Each structure stands twice: as structure tokens, then as C-alpha cells.
Amino acid sequence: MLEQRRIVVAVTGGVAAFKAAYLVRRLIEQGAEVRTVMTQTATQFIGPATLAALSGHAPVTSLFGDDSVSPHTELAQWAEVIVVAPATTATIARLAHGISEDAVSATVVAARCPVIIAPAMHTEMWEYPATQRNVAQLAADGVIIAGPTEGVLAGGDSGAGRMVEPEEIVAAVSRALGVRDLDGVSVVVTAGGTREPIDPVRYVGNRSSGKMGNAIALDAARRGAMVTLVTTAPAPTHPNIAVLEVETAQQMAEATWEAAATAQVAVFAAAVADFRPSDVSAGKIRRAEGLPTVTFEPTPDVLKGVVEMPDGPFVVGFAAEVGSVDAAVDKAQRKGVDLLIANDVAKAGSGFGTDTNEVTLVRSDGSTESWELMSKAAVARRLWDVVVAQRLAGAS
């Protein structure tokens, strides 16, 4: 059942648009709250009034002329999952390339929740090489592809390209939202790269964007956890996420240790500086004063402080490596973490600032499991699956 889950149904311009009305009804029957968004072409196939009557909310049909200043971002932030049904060839192409030129594509591009697309088109269009490339790209980005199936098409012919039935899409929504297997669990996540000041202008830092930590925090929140996100980076918005903004390793340590004292799981995705300038200049260091000498001292070991807590949380560490991740196995055992995620930040698509990651899972016994390149959102989902399974096994 989908009681009180927030679902956006996005309708694009194909004959299968009539099925969107059945989909909205089925979702509401499952207890979901549904809102809709339509392309202008979709309104030629199904009336906005129909979706308004079914959902209780007028559909968004344009980026302009609405009472809302930004209807697409409001919908994207509200949604727990977005379903594009039907998804036409044109819409799939827009989404694969991040082109947000209508209400549907703009809403999906602005979203940070799971996205499901249900393709619907003629067989020739489905089999067209560019369409297949676009679908493959969306799948690699973490989008869930529901269908299509084979059957009678709008032109009277038969073949691949028929949109799957609403009941199958409802099942996909249920799977995407998942069981709230972290309901009530207290979680701490660190994200971003710390910045250690040299003077009031300059600092020593790193290239961490915070994207991996944000994805981990978001997925935990969607699974019901109450998340404290300790971060140096812009944070995602979710009712279950409390954000603690920090800058230095010392600030991150203090905030994390306080939050972890009552947490059940702690995930350390931040890139924390190992050293900091020991003497921070009160004024700006100027070129005319000559080449400065900067002396460094160790920063607090945030991870170690949590691992050593009596009755501390389940701990997941991260290790950014260059080249081999063999050192991560030693780190996992030396640090005493329950799990460790290692990645080669020099590898294409698996470094700082990317939307994808290729990681190796290291368990406390030293065993490893290599994961294929996938979106950071997909890495987060898979990581939480492992954490939930291991915590349950430990409790049994």
C-alpha cells in the first residue's frame, strides 16, 4: 500500500495518455497523494480537467501563467517519486540530455527523487538507435524503465512499444519507494570537503562536491530514517533531514560526535582534511611579504572518534583512493568500521564532482565486492540495502 506517499504523474503527448487517468486512480486507491504535470501536447490527448477531478489538484501544464513562481521545482521537491507515463520518444530524448523546455521535463530535471518512465511509441520509434541510446543513458543515470511491452499499437499494428498497464506501474512505484526499512532509525551522514584556513582569504581544501553524501542522506530519509547531515556543501531538502553546516575538520568532528552519540548508523562520506595549518594568519598574507612558511598539524580523526564510542552506531567509512583500492582493505580493518566504500577518484566517472561512482564495498572481515559504474543515487540505494541486511543479521 502507498498510504500518504507523494507521487507525481507526468503525462506526455501520446495516445496512451488515457491510461494516465487509470494510473492516477489506482495510485489514489492505494492511499497515495497524487499530483500531475502535463506537456502541452498531452492536453490534446487527455483533458486537464480529468486529471484534476481524479487527483483533486489541477495539473501543471506550463512553466508560466500559474500562481506559483516555480511550479516545476515545487512539484519536484514535493514528490517522493515521479512517474512519466506515457513517456514519448521526444520526452525520453529531452530527459536523457537534460533539456528542460516544458513542464514535464523541467520537473524531472529538477527532481532528486526516484523517477520511473513508461515508454509508449510505435515499434519503429522504440527500436530507433537514438531512442535505445537515450533509454540506456537514463537507465545509467538511475532512472527506472518500466516496459514497454509488446501488443496492439495505436496504428493497428502489433509489436514492441506498447505502454505497460497501470497495475504494473503501481508495482514499480511500490518497489521504487521501497519498504520503509529505516523507519525511526537515527542516522548521521557527513558530506563535502572540509576547508582549513591559512588566512582570512585562503584555505587548504579538496575537490569533494558532497554529491555522494547527499545521495546517501536522501535515500535514508526516503526509507524513513531521521537524518542529521553534517556538511560543507549545499544540502538536499527533505522533511527527515536536519542539516548542520560546518567548514573545518574541527567543526565537523564536534558536530558529528554530538549527533553520533545518539545515532544508530553513521556514514562518513565527507572528505575530511588530515592536516590543517597550525598558525592561521590574522590578516591576509601578501605577496610583498615574501614566500610564507605554512606549518601543518593533524586534524581530529572524526571516524575514529565515533568508532571508539561505547555502544556506538553502525559505522560506514569511505576511502578515496588513486589507483588501487587495496589500501582501503587495510583502512577498514585498522579503523574498525562495519563497512567501507572505496573508490578510485582518478577513474573516469568515479571521482569528485561526478554524478556517477564505481566503488568497492569492503566488509569488516576484509572481503570485497566490486560494484559496476552507476549513479550516486543507485550507489546510495545499494549501500542502504547492505546496511539494513547486515544490521538485521546482527540483531538476529
Same domain, yes or no, for 62 and 164? yes
Same domain, yes or no, for 201 and 167? no
293 or 323, which is more confident: 293
Q: How high is the mean pLDDT of the chain?
A: 89
Find all residues with CB under 8 Å of 244, minimum gap 6, and list them. Answer: 228, 229, 230, 231, 255, 259
Domain termination residue (choose one: 177, 210, 241):
177
Same domain, yes or no, for 168 and 192? no
Indicate the helix (H) or strand (E) that contains 343: strand 339-344
Using one digit for the tens of pLDDT, what is the confidence trace for 33-69? 999 999 999 999 999 999 999 999 999 998 886 777 7
Please, which pLDDT band fits residue 226 given cuts at 50, 70 and 90?
Answer: very high
SS3 of residue 336 by DSSP: coil
Rounded distance between C-alpha atoms, residue 369 and residue 358, angstroms: 11
Residue 276 is assigned to a structural domain of this protein = yes
Same domain, yes or no, for 120 and 97? yes
Residue 263 is assigned to a structural domain of this protein = yes
Same domain, yes or no, for 335 and 354? yes
Using one digit for the tens of pLDDT, what is the confidence trace for 96-132? 999 998 999 999 999 988 899 999 998 888 989 999 9
- What pLDDT, on the 0 to 100 scale, is given for residue 396? 39
Structural domain including 366 reads 186-395
Using one digit for the tens of pLDDT, what is the confidence trace for 249-258? 999 999 999 9
CATH number of the domain bearing residue 161: 3.40.50.1950
Catalytic entry in 134, 206, 214, 240: 206
DSSP class of 200: S
Number of domains in the chain: 2
Same domain, yes or no, for 154 and 217? no
CATH number of the domain bearing residue 337: 3.40.50.10300
Closest CA to 83 of 125, 40, 42, 35: 35
Evaluate if pTM is beyond 0.75: no
Residue 1 is assigned to a structural domain of this protein = no
CB 215 within 8 A of CB 380: yes
Same domain, yes or no, for 39 and 158? yes
Please, which pLDDT band fits residue 394 given cuts at 50, 70 and 90?
Answer: low
Same domain, yes or no, for 148 and 284? no
Same domain, yes or no, for 143 and 266? no
Same domain, yes or no, for 163 and 246? no
Same domain, yes or no, for 203 and 72? no
Q: Is 206 a known active-site residue?
A: yes
Find all residues with CB under 8 Å of 34, minimum gap 6, and list them. Answer: 7, 8, 9, 24, 27, 28, 54, 55, 57
Same domain, yes or no, for 103 and 252? no
